[in-house]
Amino acid sequence: MNKFAETLTVDNAVLAMIDHQTGLLVSCREQDAHLMTENIKGLCSMAKVVGMPTITTASMPDGPNGPIMPEITDILGDEVIERAGEINAWKSPEFKKAIEATGRKKIIMAGIVTDVCLMFPAISAVAEGYDVYAVVDASGTWNKAVAEASIHRMTQAGVKVATWASVLAEVMDDWRSEKGMELGGVLGQHTSYRWVYNSFLQASQVQK
């Protein structure tokens, strides 16, 4: 099967969280800040639940961009690849080597801001044969026009534009999978799917 037609699995993908830094978060105005934070936490929690490799990187975190938002490090841990100056994370030898070390060709990417921190490495990775899923609702930028332009350019370059809940569902694949209920809990914790999930849990208790 063509690798680009394969669906995401626990075994073929790596998550890259790029430049979700406290100083850059103030630039994200195209979606509700609380909602974006929940999307980011949900995406990270999905990877942690299934044991997917994760790579976090920051651009000059000692400068005005600031450190990685604590919501990410609380879930994925404190290991962060700190780039000295490369705007495009793909041009960082340390970041690229970390991706290569996983041996995986599918990269789930999210970044702030969408039109730079996400778009540049996503396009660069595709050019080198990787299958990139750009999770736009766990990313953020200045306004909707900028977000739309970024989506168009990434799509033109062959990047797959995705949302975090669809990525979770694709990785889960089947509610009967080993991590199915736990992933359902992640979805319920960070979206309005909680009402469905809670109803199911209550019905399950009644049946017992």
Percent helix, strand and coil across the chain, each to the nearest 5: 50, 15, 35
Radius of gyration of the chain (CA): 17
**Cα separation, 109 vs 124, whole angstroms:** 12
Residue of 24, 117, 136, 187 marked catalytic = 117
d(CA 163, CA 133): 9
Is 44 among the catalytic positions?
no
Tokens of 32: 């509700």
Give the whole-angstrom CA distance, residue 170 versus residue 115.
Answer: 25
Q: Which residues are catalytic?
A: 117
